[in-house]
Amino acid sequence: MAVNLSKNGAALTAAYEEVVDGKSDTNWVLFTYEGNNNDIRLAEKGAGGLEEMVEELNSGKVMYAFCRVQDPNSGLPKYVLINWTGEGVKDSRKGLCANHVSAMANFLKGAHVTVNARAEEDVEPDAILDKVAKASGANFNFHKPTQGYRDAPRGPVGSVYRKINAVEEIQQTKKDDFWGQAQRDEEVRQREENQRAEQERQRLERERREMEEKQAKERERKAKERAQQIEQEK
């Protein structure tokens, strides 16, 4: 089922606009679901940045966070979108909500960095700011290659720096695999649900035809009995 952003649309939009308004003190907002349905509601908002926001993430919920941060490279405001699926969320719910990620990204538009997170280590503020710096650094270096060279890590091939990058790439691959698998699981679930619905429809249709045939035979039997009775009375 699709995510519902209309039920609480006014509150959701107002909270989002506070974050993107550079004059507003509010620099983060957190959305989640109303119970186990697909209606999105405002969970929390604040002015304490990433450090304050990550404290509000719940390990038992699926949540969507949008935060305004300062780019470590340029000092300009940048926006981070976090798709949070707590480790305590049931697999069936994970699969369902995985289909809502693109719709939430369209609503919370303008993110420079998107983080798919499941645990606290995925949302460490320093790590997120590092991703923001790398994202802006890539664009900056594209226009100014000399700056890119100056900012490049120093050290021999196989240094600790490269090993850390390899680990990060593996972790990111695992996260991407998780979301991809969740998407595939949801597609399988939907196909099975459609098959069950079709089987149920066919069963009801078969029962309806059998009932109609039974009723027709009963009417025919009574009609014959009535005809015979009339014939005998004559």
Residue range 83-108, pLDDT digits in tens: 999 999 998 898 889 889 999 999 99
Q: Compute the average pLDDT of residues 51-75.
A: 93
| β partners of residue 83 | 64, 116
Most confident of 63-72, 136-145, 191-200, 213-222: 63-72
| Band of residue 137 on the pLDDT scale cut at 50, 70, 90 | low
| Mean pLDDT computed over 42-50 | 95
Contact yes or no for 153/69 (Cβ under 8 A): no
The pLDDT score that the predictor gives to residue 231 is 82
| Closest among 100, 60, 122 to 186, alpha carbons compared | 100
Query: What does each C-alpha distance from 82 to 14, 108, 113, 163, 202 come to in angstroms?
Result: 19, 10, 8, 25, 44
- At 200 the pLDDT is 84
Report the DSSP beta bridge partners of residue 64: 31, 83
Q: Residue 107: its pLDDT value, please?
A: 93
Q: What does the alpha-carbon distance between residue 222 and residue 211 come to, in Å, rounded to a whole number?
A: 16
In sequence order, what are the beta bridge partners of 65? 30, 82
Look at residue 158 and tell me whether its pLDDT is greater than 50: no
Q: Which two tokens stand for residue 64?
A: 């969507």
74 pLDDT tier (thresholds 50, 70, 90): confident
Q: How far apart are alpha carbons 141 and 153 in whole angstroms?
A: 14
Place of tokens 């506070």: 18
Contact criterion met (CB below 8 Å) for 18 and 54: no
Instruction: With a cut of 70, say whether residue 168 has pLDDT above it.
Output: no
Output the pLDDT for position 154: 38
Ranges 171-175, 185-189, 223-227, most confident: 223-227
226 pLDDT tier (thresholds 50, 70, 90): confident
Give the pLDDT mean for 203-213. Answer: 89
- Residue 175: pLDDT over 70: no
As a whole number, mean pLDDT of residues 197-207 equals 86
Whether 157 has a pLDDT exceeding 60, the answer reads no
Neighbour tally for 96: CB within 10 Å = 21
Residue 19 CB contacts under 8 Å (≥ 6 apart), including other chains? 26, 27, 28, 29, 45, 66, 67, 68, 79
On whether the CB atoms of residues 27 and 19 are closer than 8 A, the answer is: yes
Cα three-residue angle 76-55-26, rounded to 5 degrees: 40
Rg (CA), the chain: 29
Contacts of 133 (CB under 8 A, 6+ apart): 71, 72, 73
Confidence of residue 229 (pLDDT cuts 50, 70, 90): confident
Mean pLDDT of the chain: 81
Q: Mean pLDDT over residues 169-189, rounded?
A: 64
Residue 20 has pLDDT above 60, yes or no: yes
Q: Is 24 left (phi over 0), alpha (psi -120 to 50) or beta?
A: beta
Half-sphere exposure (Cβ direction) of 152: Cα atoms closer than 13 Å: 12
> What band does 80 get if pLDDT is binned at 50, 70 and 90?
very high
* Closest to 161 measured CA to CA, from 169, 172, 173: 169
| CA proximity to 43, closest of 31, 60, 28, 35 | 31
Tell me the backbone φ, ψ of residue 3, rounded to 5 degrees: -75, 145
